[in-house]
A and B are shown apart, each in its own frame.
Chain A
Amino acid sequence: MSEPVWEVFRKERRGAAFEHAGSVVAPDADFAEAWAREQYGRRGESVALWLVPREAIRDVEDWADEFDLKYRRVDGYSIKARLKEARERAGTAGTG
């Protein structure tokens, strides 16, 4: 049988976000539910599951960063040296 893959997301406790748990291979949603219940819920490790056919997922994994616009990112700023200078000026070096 060549059957669809269902991605399984589980919620560990009420109020938590769903996280990817794994997948099941199943011919339809009912089988996917029954099997996912046993694989991802039988030990009480989930309060809820989401089952998503893999074909429904849109993959995005190509990123262009040709111009090194690192000032857009937090790690683009090195503040270590400047922080040290500032501390020395304030006479609080070593207390940070």
Chain B
Amino acid sequence: MNEQALLGLADDELVLGWRDSEWTGIAPLLEEDVAFSSIAQNEIGHARAVYELIVGADGDADALALDREPEEYRCAPLVELHLLDWAHTIARRWLYEVADEIRITALKEDPDAATAGLAAKIDREEAYHRMHAEMWHERLREEPCFRQAVEELWPYALGVLPAELRGELVERVGLVEVEPIDRGGHTEELALLWEEMTMVRRSAPSGAQW
């Protein structure tokens, strides 16, 4: 996988991890609050591992993760959306997990051994995320508000994957393929998220040790 695609994966995991962390303390159920926050942290952990793979042993993963301008991020618009209700949040989580599984499965076959190895490691943890997402999907799939949320987010979900992997997502999700809201462009929400996400880092002098 080329570096831009890896960066897309890392940025997706960072930004979605960040977005889902916004539910910490305010999720609708106490038990889910703990689980959802934990999964969000795992995603940020995956992001860190991929940034570290990109920059190499002597590189600065934090700088790559947090010192870019908003327009330089390679995340898919799906993960940027500031979703304020639980049905949409769970719909995104589920759509993302299905798309991510397809992407990670392909990445496990990557000719670069380090990349394939990291993909396998991520996949082992993602198995529990998928279990969690699938369990919610099973429970909510017939609920009108959930179905509507899935349909609204569907063009965004297609944008997570490159064109050659989208067919599998269409098959898995069971919706008709539509024009994707593709990676490369950004939503307006990203700028605000970036402001908050990088605020502490920007407030400190460059080279500060944490």
Task: Closest A residue to B41 by CB, please name it.
Answer: A42
B131 at the interface (CB under 8 A from A): yes
Chain A residues with CB under 8 Å of B34's CB are 35, 38-39
CB neighbours (8 Å) of A49 from chain B are none
Interface residue A30 (Cβ < 8 Å from any Cβ of B): yes
Judge whether B128 and A37 touch: CB under 8 Å. yes
Cβ-based interface call for B149 (8 A): no
Q: Nearest Cβ distance between residue A64 and chain B, in whole angstroms?
A: 39
Expressed in whole angstroms, the Cα–Cα distance for A26 and B128 within the complex equals 17
Contacts of A1 in B (CB 8 A): 29
Asked if B31 contacts A39 (CB within 8 A), the reply is yes
In the complex, per-residue mask of B142-170: 1 if CB is within 8 Å of any chain A CB, else 0: 00000000000000000000000000000
Task: Determine how close the nearest CB of chain A comes to the CB of B34; give it in whole angstroms.
Answer: 5
Chain B residues near A30 (CB-CB < 8 A):
135, 138
Judge whether A35 and B31 touch: CB under 8 Å. yes
Number of interface residues of A (CB under 8 A): 13
Set of chain B residues within 8 Å of A38, measured between Cβ atoms: 34-35, 38-39
CA distance A40 to B125 in the complex (A): 16
A39 near B35: Cβ-Cβ < 8 Å: yes
Highest count of chain A CB atoms <10 Å: which of B32, B35, B131: B35
Closest partner residue, chain A, to B38 (CB atom) = A38
Given contacts A35-B35, A38-B35, contact A25 B132 (CB under 8 A): no
Cβ proximity bits A20-64 to B, threshold 8 Å, 1 near / 0 not: 000011110011001101110010000000000000000000000
Binary CB contact string for chain B from 4 to 31 against chain A (1 if under 8 A, 0 otherwise): 0000000000000000000000000111
Q: How far is the CA of A92 from the CA of B139 in the complex (A)?
A: 75
In the bound complex, CA of A57 to CA of B128 (Å)? 28
B31 near A24: Cβ-Cβ < 8 Å? yes
Which residues of B are at the interface with A, using a C-beta cutoff of 8 A?
29-32, 34-35, 38-39, 128, 131-132, 135, 138-139
* 22 A-B pairs (CB sep. < 8 Å): A24-B31, A25-B29, A25-B30, A25-B31, A27-B139, A30-B135, A30-B138, A31-B31, A31-B135, A31-B139, A34-B128, A34-B131, A34-B132, A35-B31, A35-B34, A37-B35, A37-B128, A38-B35, A38-B38, A38-B39, A39-B34, A39-B35
